[in-house]
Copies of this chain bind each other. A is one copy, B any other.
Amino acid sequence: MSLKHALLGFLTICPATGYELKGIFENSVQHFWNADLSQIYRTLDEIKTEGLATVRVEPQEGKPPRHIYSLSEKGREEFLRWLREPVKDLPVIRNHFLLKIFFGAFLQKEEVIEHLKRYQNVLQERLAKYRKIEHMAPEGFESMLRSKGIIEKGTAAPFELTALKNHLLYAIATLRLGFKIAEATDEWCTETINELQSLASEKSKTEKPKSVKKQRAKGAKV
């Protein structure tokens, strides 16, 4: 379970509440990690219980009190221990979309093409999101943290600016991979659509021009 370590990582940068951490997740690591709010709360509780962070409760009017988590020295050590630990495996992936493409022979070609086109839309949405994050990034995490209200206006960031810039370098690097993969996937969708379409038209040459498409598609139904 590395949600814990992701949270410890962000807390290393700055104390935060569970709700804020959810926002930070969405605006920085969403392309390779996602977290449910309820799970964040539970994990923060675990972090507290294990003595990896301390909590300060800040009452609010009309709203539930903010529980602000601050990393302890133990938490910091655990985070660094995890951070240095080598990664041995590729991430576990379960891609419903590819599973459907894999079984494409049980559909009509046109239906598979629909799946591919729809997925391209999903990818475009995701790319738009990445661009938004990218736009935000140049001013660094600081701006993000400020916009989230974690850093008060006029207050200095609670960590070195050099380190912050260094951090930005890595954040951008991971984002760049996100772009690369999304773009490669989009390209692949186009290629596959073309491949499927050309297959249909090749058939049309040798057999009847129009009705054949449906025949072939029907044949695909094993």
| Contacts from A to B (Cβ < 8 Å) | 2, 5-6, 9, 12-13, 28-29, 31-34, 79-80, 83-84, 86-107, 111-112, 114-115, 118-119, 122-123, 126, 159-160, 162-163, 166-167, 169-171, 173-174, 176-177, 180-181, 184-185, 187-188, 192, 195, 199, 219-222
Q: Given A163-B220, A185-B181, does the pair A99, B12 have CB atoms closer than 8 Å? A: no
- Interface pair A105/B219, CB less than 8 Å apart: no
Q: Give me 19 other A-B pairs in contact (C-beta within 8 A), A79-B106, A163-B221 excluded.
A: A6-B99, A9-B99, A9-B106, A12-B103, A32-B94, A32-B99, A34-B93, A87-B96, A87-B97, A87-B100, A87-B122, A93-B93, A102-B170, A103-B170, A105-B167, A112-B170, A167-B222, A180-B185, A184-B184
Query: Taking the full assembly, how many copies of this chain does it contain?
Result: 2
A-B contact pairs, 7 of them (CB 8 A): A2-B94, A5-B99, A6-B99, A9-B106, A79-B103, A84-B107, A177-B188
Q: Given A2-B99, A86-B115, A173-B101, does the pair A34, B167 have CB atoms closer than 8 Å? A: no
Q: Which residues of B contact A111 (CB under 8 A)?
A: 84
- Interface pair B105/A170, CB less than 8 Å apart: yes
Q: Which residues of B contact A91 (CB under 8 A)?
A: 93-97
Q: Which residues of B contact A171 (CB under 8 A)?
A: 102
Closest Cβ neighbor of A88 among chain B residues = B122
**Cβ 8 A contact of A170, one of B97, B104, B185:** B104
Measured in the bound complex, the distance between the Cα atoms of B156 and A7 in whole Å is 56
Closest CB of chain B to A106's CB: distance in Å?
Answer: 6
- Interface pair A222/B89, CB less than 8 Å apart: no
Closest CB of chain B to A138's CB: distance in Å?
Answer: 16
Q: Given A101-B173, A167-B105, A177-B98, does the pair A222, B2 have CB atoms closer than 8 Å? A: no
Closest CB of chain B to A77's CB: distance in Å?
Answer: 12
Measured in the bound complex, the distance between the Cα atoms of B84 and A118 in whole Å is 12
